[in-house]
Amino acid sequence: MNRREIVLAPIVHVLGARPNFVKAAPVIDALRAAGAEQVVIHTGQHYDERMSEIFFTELGLPEPDVNLGVGSGSHAAQTASLLVGLEEEFTSRSPALVIVYGDVNSTIAAALVAAKLHIPVAHVEAGLRSFDNTMPEEINRRLVDQLSDLAFVTSPEGVGHLANEGVDVDKAHLVGNPMIDTLLANLDKFDTDRVRAENGLPDRYVLATMHRPANVDSPETAAALVGHLHGVADLAPLVIPVHPRGRANLMAAGLDDHEGVHVLEPLGYIDFIAAVRGAAAVVTDSGGLQEETTILGVPCLTVRPNTERPITITHGTNRLVTFEELVPAARKALESQVGESARKPPLWDGQAGPRIAEVIMEFLVD
């Protein structure tokens, strides 16, 4: 009897935001190779086509079996809609396992519903901690890890964080980073010259992304940020695909008033990483981009007081900066010659997906 005959119920993946899709692709692929029956639920938390649907096409993900279409809203309203929709799906499908990714509202909602229905939960990207409870993502991470039966950890310090919080270390599995699996698998597709030509970008530029509530939700803070981004644009052209969150405040603050700022619509995964790969430096408040720049060898300035990914500082190209430090740090980054480093975080080798699939199949047949 093979594993597929033993595991009769489906494995359900819950995906809500674009980083989830990048992390899920290698896991879904590896489980498919292992013969597992799978269901993909897209919650619709990111509902813009460039923020979600295009990822399924570019990453070879199966079309979602369900799209809950929850859209945006307050944390309470969005999470409430997710709880209702996911409970209905899990009840009707009786999954053998629910796999959640990252730290968005879809992640915590799926873990909570599954736990209450006594369905095992696997958390991909467990153990990350910023130790900043003002971040909604930090609350989600901590709670999901408490509810999970399998904790898939991307970097060694995550195992220690879980142990410190009382999570059974036997549940923790250091597997590497599936987001890096996707990056390495698509290296040949990241055509920077094509993206430059299609978007009218200069040969040398700084790429920026900004969407964290602490940076963009307040008009006053967004205006201060825009002033410092204009300072970066004084040093080199600044290319910024504008995330739907914060667009109104950033544009109202005059983001595109500076002639050196190139405002773009959100890009699909392939085009975005191609733009990152060709950048002289990156300015961001994203979590995943800290990891991707670490592998690509692009200087990364993270405009946050903390990071849940400190390994990108110790083993990568990342540096935390305040608003006031941004322009001097950008000047220094533009003068540096970083390049891809031989020193990479452990197990960031493109094989996290198969490692995760092996643990899951063993868990389900035990």
Could you confirm whether 13 is annotated as catalytic? no
- What domains, with CATH codes, occur in the chain? 3-176+351-365 (3.40.50.2000), 188-335 (3.40.50.2000)
State residue 4's pLDDT score.
44
Distance of alpha carbon 366 from alpha carbon 189, whole angstroms: 40
List average pLDDT for each run of 10 residues in the chain, which is 366 residues long: 58 93 96 96 72 74 89 86 96 97 96 98 98 95 98 97 96 98 96 96 97 94 98 98 89 97 94 97 96 95 97 95 98 81 84 98 92
Catalytic choice (13, 46, 211, 262): 211
* pLDDT for residue 292: 96
How open is the CA angle 240-246-248, to the nearest 5 degrees? Answer: 95
Is residue 86 within 8 A of residue 15, CB to CB? The reply is: no
The whole-model pTM stands at 0.93
| Residue entry with tokens 């299609």 | 198
pLDDT the model gives residue 344? 87
- pLDDT at position 258 is 98
Whole-number Cα distances in Å, 337 to 114, 163, 292 = 48, 39, 17
- Smallest Cα–Cα separation from 83: which of 107, 103, 104, 109? 109
Contact yes or no for 303/326 (Cβ under 8 A): yes
